Amino acid sequence: MNKFTVHTGLVVPLDRENVDTDAIIPKQFMKSIRRTGYGPHAFDQWRYLDHGEPGMDNSTRPLNQEFILNHPRYQGASILLTRRNFGCGSSREHAPWALEQFGFRALIGPGFAEIFYNNCFKNGLLPIVLPEEQVTHLFEQTRSNCGFQLTVDLERQRITTSSGEEHSFEVEAFRKYCLLNGYDDIALTLRHADLIRSFEKKRIESQPWLARHLTSPKIGK
């Protein structure tokens, strides 16, 4: 997955509580067995006035001009400002896939649903929890300043506005390490590819009968 070190991006304010994963990526788009192609369908039922289905040409669909992500001033936003309990509902990992593939790198809110929060870290998204009064302040700044941007520094655990205002945030050390290095669960395992290959080789040598049924995996190849 992509590393997260320092990111500066346009902020879009999604002023809704309890946004569930079916709103983030509706269930009809989860038929694919691939991990790609979900970005165009993020918030599909809110972004469009018709009912979306896989394979539709989004360029011909009627946009919901009232939905915040369709406002011209927020096009290209990569930081999503949210309210409490974002990502609630079912535990689908497709939700962070859709957000990341739509173009978001960081989410900021007063709290996230637990499983969604965990899934974000596993897929290169940084969910940042701030006190509610700080989140409200950022909402106000975003609405008042067209083109409002934030710089998120994961190493320093700081959010900085263009005026120099800073907000600190907490992140668990292991999750921070993984994001800084771009390690998902598979990449973490492959750090030990040489040890795994060595173990498999010794196992076949000491138990040769296993070779009739197993082929030593090409770890890290």
- Going by C-beta distance under 8 Å and a sequence separation of 6 or more, which residues neighbour residue 88? 18, 19, 20, 21, 113, 116
pLDDT per position as a tens digit, 4-42: 999 999 999 999 999 999 999 999 998 887 889 999 999
pTM, 2 dp: 0.87
pLDDT per position as a tens digit, 86-102: 999 988 899 999 999 99
What pLDDT score does 169 carry?
98
pLDDT per position as a tens digit, 33-74: 788 999 999 999 999 999 999 999 999 999 999 999 999 999
∠ CA 136-138-140 to the nearest 5 degrees? 70
Q: Which among 50, 44, 46, 74 has a CA at the least distance from the CA of 62?
A: 50
Tokens 């038929």 sit on residue: 31
pLDDT per position as a tens digit, 192-218: 677 778 787 777 778 877 776 655 455
Domain ranges of the chain: 6-182, 191-221
What pLDDT score does 201 carry?
76
CATH 3.40.50.2300 fits 6-182, yes or no: no
pLDDT per position as a tens digit, 126-150: 999 999 999 999 999 999 999 999 9
